[in-house]
Chain A
Amino acid sequence: MGLLSDPNRRRALISLLTRLNAPICVLCYFAAVCWFMGLSFEPFTLRTYMSENAMGSTMVEERFPAGERALATAKEFGAHKKKVGGMPVDWLVKTMQARGLEVFTQRFSRTLPFPDENNERYIVEGTNVYGILRAPRAPRTEALVLSAPCSPGDDNNQAVGLLLGLAHYFRSKSIFWAKDIIFLVNEHDLIGMQAWLEGYHHTNTTGMDWSPLQGRGGSIQAALSLELSSDVVTSLDIVLEGLNGQLPNLDLANLFYAFCQKIGVLCTIQGRIQRNDWDSVSGYSHAVQTMMLMVMKQASGRSWGDHGLFLRYHIEAATIKGINSFRQYKTDATTVGRLLEGMYRKLNNLLERLHQSYFFYLMPSLSHFVSIGYYMPAFGLLAVILLLRALDLWVQLATPPSRNEDGVADIEQSSTGVLSVLTPLVISHLTGAALYMLPVRFQEMAVEHFQVSETEAVVLTAIAVYTGGLALPHNTHRYWLISGEGTEQGWRVLKLVAVLYLAVLLGCTALINFSLGFILALTLVPVASFVTPHVPKLLSAVVLVILSPAFTLLFSVFIFQELQEMPVSFQDGWMLYLSVISQGILDHYLYGSLVYPLIALMVYPCWLLFWNILFWK
């Protein structure tokens, strides 16, 4: 007889499952954590390699000569920027036209849902300026983008200067360009970039107001964003994480690394220099920290450079930042220009979009990577815990209830089924919806009644709604539609539904944004496993609150600061935490980041269900 259809064997299997459930869950959890930590151990990673045949090796001759002129242009740009007090549109248009590009501008404006205190802006109006270098012999079907942001103050002047220098050089050697090259200077960093991309692709997903683009260049194959604020650099950093944790194709990072090695520039990822001693403890911890930084940046769902918004349109993009630290060996602007020239010549050889290499990966260092096939089992082990718990609950629900005083009442109540959990589900999701909508909608009311700024009002409203949800179990008892409260069956059914819901939710999240799914799983899976109405209430309540999404975020903020070697005190950490919440909400409204709605509308209600289970009686 078959394993599952033979009643004896099935009973044996089920009893095995019930007895060993807790030990297996604990084992799986530790295995998942160990697997994740082992990912950055160098023998378990693969060296990066170029997958795209068309790009091949770094076999080009870079001849960019004009680094000094680029720096002079940068100074001019800085002076004009200061004079105008913003983006010097006319000067940029004139300079780009002098270099032989087809220049166009785009105006855009956006009123933020509430003032952004980090960047000090509320009503944003700006202009993007872009020049197109047409490929002389090719049809205008494909394009590459090089962009530099126009930042307030003295930041990124050299980036714009180098961009203009490269434009001049590329124009003089334009015989071999097979794609148009678009040189873009965007104002108000991400907002301007979003406006430009929406105008280019004729989409309007975020409600921004922009003027249509007069000139276009074909479908964009790849884009690089440049951030350079000093005349000389000691290292170049590549930033890959984009909106919603999306990453560009690994071949772009491979290309950057290959050219860094060819030209001899020090290249870093996450701002950390690679170490060779992977077998020592400090070397291993260095790799772990680099990978953890990438995981946290990816989980936050925000775009960590101007390139992050390109990824949504299936355009591979990365940001290259020049870092000037206290190191002896300095690289001048000519060398940086050569590196960019080499990269663009190789991207010019592309016949199709980059697709040969991985789209989902983690990088413990620039020369090693971990692909999705290697890191997914870590999450899989956590999901297995949820499934085992669900099976256990199913078994408990399926077996008839053990001896009870009033057998009749039990049999009545055991037939309530799934409908009894409808009430807590609906109420939790309504709370989640409140968490999503109330902070921004009622900020004016909050500002009237309390002496806080709009940003603080939004954030504090969010926290208030979050904390208010904790009081729910005590208040919702009177709203039970079906008398399912207080029964053993009731909470089991609710927990089964909640566990399965959490499993599906985390699984879907991990597929799109592995880091977010994994971090949420790390904290929520223990919650889901151990919570029952029978555990000690006070202790479990405290543990549950500490493992809730809000506290996870708080701890992540502190850990993130530690990893970046800029530890903060508790006061500063708290202020940083509030600003992170406001940035998250702003990202959602401005660029369509999904982290805030995910947590407010799905993860938080799920956690509330467990909170309800804890206070079932």
Chain B
Amino acid sequence: MSALLKRSCSHNMLAAIIMLIFICFCVHFQNTAGQFFSSGHTNNWAVLVCTSRFWFNYRHVANTLSVYRSVKRLGIPDSHIVLMLADDMACNHRNPKPATVFSHRNMELNVYGDDVEVDYRGYEVTVENFLRVLTGRLPPSTPRSKRLLSDDRSNILIYLTGHGGNGFLKFQDSEEISNVELADAFEQMWQKRRYNELLFIIDTCQGASMYERFYSPNIMALASSQVGEDSLSHQPDLAIGVHLMDRYTFYLLEFLEDIHPASKSNMNDLFKVCPKSQCVSTPGHRTDLFLRDPGSVLITDFFGSVRKVEITMEAIHLTDPILHPMSEEVQEKTYSYVDQLPVSEIIHQKPKQKDWHPPDGFILGLWTLILLVFFKTYGIKHLKHIF
């Protein structure tokens, strides 16, 4: 009896242990699965902007192209990248190595490549175009490559570089975008459900001032320097004769070169890029508007386009095709899109006609009456003065 009990007990214990292990496995699986699906986004977009022109601002174009290169390498396709470059450095007459833009003094890395797709070039890079891209308020004739066609499940990376100051970023030597405008643009995006999460990186002087005013949820921001500090350039190249890159983006690029689509590095690692010893300025970041913990946010959530793929080995049985019932009263409800921009209400049109207005003949009759009264009073002989 006791041996049986003992055996059943041990069986039970074994079963319990197996059950426990199984549960643990399930939980663990649940965790990784949870992690796998925790970000909640289904597509990735990137908006990369270089705002300064002229040959001596070579480094800003090199910055933007480095981030473009990383983002493409990690999987975001050109159709999902809006690249805005304010000047053409590769084909500038002063470039001793035409058709190249280098990021490192030893000319190791040509970030221009031969498959770069610039969507907004030269004078098209303006504050207005940038804000229109963000908010989606583009004229219907704009091609798809120039639009940010994001939806409420998109994670967007926005990278800005150029010359900036306390609260503004200079575009093309002639205009500026202020931090308030930028914050309002992001709020518009949030209200129109144009993003799921947004990562905003800015590499300019006093860059931290640009993210001070954000107030929309799900935005994480990084900047290369605090208010009152200048972002410095990294290294000059004597053969080309200009500074090649800015420090912050140089170290960011170095960091991103180690990332591959399956890597698990998270945002906390990104915050550590370019400490003060290397950057001379103090990089800053802002996470209070972000709902998730930065430690659980993967780099590839923003920089890459990691498709969620679930592999299944079982066969799926498809059901029989649905036959349309032949009914006469088929009510086909036509659907149409809600008018996003009610143009007719925005543009002033001719005011609607009043319900009643005097008939046209009224004026004619009035004049006839006046004439008759006139002739009655003064006599018919004055008629010849009129005709």
Whether both chains belong to one complex is answered with yes
Are A176 and B94 within 8 A (Cβ)? yes
Q: How near does chain A come to B235, taking the closest CB pair, in angstroms?
A: 10
How far is B257's CA from A197's CA once the two chains are assembled, in angstroms? 56
Nearest-neighbour CB distance to chain B for A122, whole angstroms, equals 47
Q: Which of A1-56 contact B (CB under 8 A)?
A: 53-54, 56
Chain A positions within 8 Å of B241 at CB level: 59-61, 176, 345, 349
Contact call B55/A138, Cβ cutoff below 8 A? no
- A53-B56, A175-B98, A351-B55 known; A61 vs B93 contact (CB < 8 Å): no
The count of chain B contact residues (Cβ–Cβ below 8 Å) is 16
Question: Which of A59, A138, A176, A349 meets B238, CB within 8 Å?
Answer: A59
Give CA–CA (A390, B43) in the complex, Å: 84
- The complex places the Cα of A56 from the Cα of B55 at a distance, in Å, of 11
> Does any Cβ of B come within 8 Å of A348's Cβ?
yes
B95 CB–A CB distance under 8 Å: yes
Complexed CA–CA distance, A348 and B94 (Å)? 8
In whole Å, how far is B233's beta carbon from the nearest beta carbon of chain A? 11
Q: Cβ of A178 and Cβ of B56 under 8 Å apart?
A: no
Contacts of B56 in A (CB 8 A): 53-54, 56, 349
CB distance from A144 to the nearest CB of B (A): 13
- B242 CB within 8 Å of chain A: yes
CB distance from A4 to the nearest CB of B (A): 47
Is B36 positioned at the interface, with any CB of A under 8 Å from its CB?
Answer: no
Return chain A residues, CB-CB under 8 Å to B95.
Answer: 176
Q: How far is the CB of B273 from chain A (nearest CB, A)?
A: 26
A66 vs B148: C-alpha distance in the bound complex, in angstroms?
56
Question: Are A54 and B238 interface neighbours, CB within 8 A?
Answer: no
Interface pair B94/A59, CB less than 8 Å apart? no
Verify B55–A54 contact, CB threshold 8 A. yes
Asked whether, in the complex, the Cβ of B96 is within 8 Å of the Cβ of A175, the reply is yes
User: B54 in the interface, Cβ–Cβ < 8 Å?
Assistant: yes
Q: How many interface residues does chain A have, given as a range?
A: 10 to 19
CB neighbours (8 Å) of A173 from chain B are 96
- Residues of B near A295 (CB, < 8 A) are none
From known contacts A54-B54, A59-B236, A351-B55, infer whether A176 and B242 are also in contact, taking CB-CB under 8 Å. no
Given A54, A60, A137, which contacts B98 in the complex, CB threshold below 8 Å?
A137
Q: Looking across the interface, which residue of chain A has its beta carbon closest to that of B54?
A: A351
Q: A54-B56, A56-B56 are in contact. Are A177 and B93 (CB under 8 A)?
A: yes
**CA separation between A345 and B93, bound complex, in Å?**
12
Chain A residues, CB < 8 A from B238: 59-61
Are B54 and A176 neighbours in the complex by a CB distance under 8 Å?
no
Contact B239 A138, beta carbon cutoff 8 Å? no
Within 41-78 of B, Cβ neighbours of A (below 8 Å) are at 54-56
A33 to B239, CA, bound (A): 50
CB distance from A355 to the nearest CB of B (A): 15
User: Of B91, B93, B238, B242, which is in contact with the most chain A CB atoms at under 10 Å from its CB?
Assistant: B93
Q: Which residues of B contact A135 (CB under 8 A)?
A: 93
Smallest Cβ-Cβ distance to A53: which chain B residue: B56
CB of B236 within 8 A of CB of A176, answer: no
B239→A349 contact, CB < 8 A: no
Q: Which of B54, B93, B239 contacts A137 (CB 8 A)?
A: B93
Add 20 more A-B contacts to A135-B93, A176-B94 (CB < 8 A).
A54-B54, A56-B56, A56-B242, A57-B236, A59-B236, A59-B241, A59-B243, A60-B238, A60-B241, A61-B238, A61-B239, A137-B91, A137-B93, A138-B93, A176-B95, A176-B96, A178-B92, A345-B241, A349-B55, A351-B54
6 contacts between A and B (CB under 8 A): A61-B239, A135-B93, A173-B96, A176-B93, A177-B93, A349-B241
- 4 nearest A-B residue pairs (beta carbon): A61-B238, A178-B93, A176-B96, A138-B93
